[in-house]
Homo-oligomer: A and B are copies of this chain.
């Protein structure tokens, strides 16, 4: 299969951006994200910056598939594997949390401050609950268990005016 038009490849973002004249505003907006990636020891490629720009700033709790959809709007040729790889990379480097809510329903959360989660039984909607809203004693006295992190997961219903079943 011939490719009539040259495919876009990873833009040169390592080191000084050599194509800075492409979109100065985008580069300027991306700058803090690039800093964060560098600070975390992640090489900031164009794809990674695009993914991180969305997923580290949203409060949507997006799924991987949703991230792919959104990021494609600004970087149309990014592949699914790259999105998954980048999300895993961000999780491994502690910039992102992964929440598994139900079978086949994994979601990402950039909020790094400690907080709890509430999951709506009907809609599956996730709501962040401030850490101070629930009094939880530090788990200790658990022989043989070194607790790295913990949180309260609540399930129930969100009492909105309409959502009733």
> Which A residues form the contact surface with B (CB < 8 A)?
98, 100-103, 105-106, 116, 118, 121, 127, 129, 133-137, 139, 141-142, 144-160
> B residues within 8 A CB of A137?
134-136
A149 pairs with B156, CB closer than 8 A = yes
Interface majority SS (helix, strand, loop, mixed), chain A:
strand
A153 pairs with B155, CB closer than 8 A = no
A156 pairs with B152, CB closer than 8 A = no
Contact of A136 among B105, B134, B159 (CB under 8 A): B134
Contacts A103-B100, A136-B137, A137-B135 given: A155-B148 contact, CB under 8 Å? yes
A147 pairs with B118, CB closer than 8 A = yes
A145 pairs with B150, CB closer than 8 A = no
A54 to chain B, nearest CB (A): 20
> B residues within 8 A CB of A103?
98, 100, 106
Contact of A157 among B105, B148, B153, B157 (CB under 8 A): B148
A106 to chain B, nearest CB (A): 5
> B residues within 8 A CB of A139?
116, 129, 133-134, 152, 154
A sample of 25 inter-chain contacts (CB < 8 A) reads A100-B100, A100-B102, A100-B103, A103-B106, A118-B145, A129-B142, A129-B145, A133-B139, A133-B141, A134-B139, A136-B136, A139-B152, A139-B154, A144-B158, A145-B154, A145-B158, A146-B156, A146-B157, A148-B155, A148-B156, A149-B154, A150-B154, A150-B155, A151-B153, A152-B152
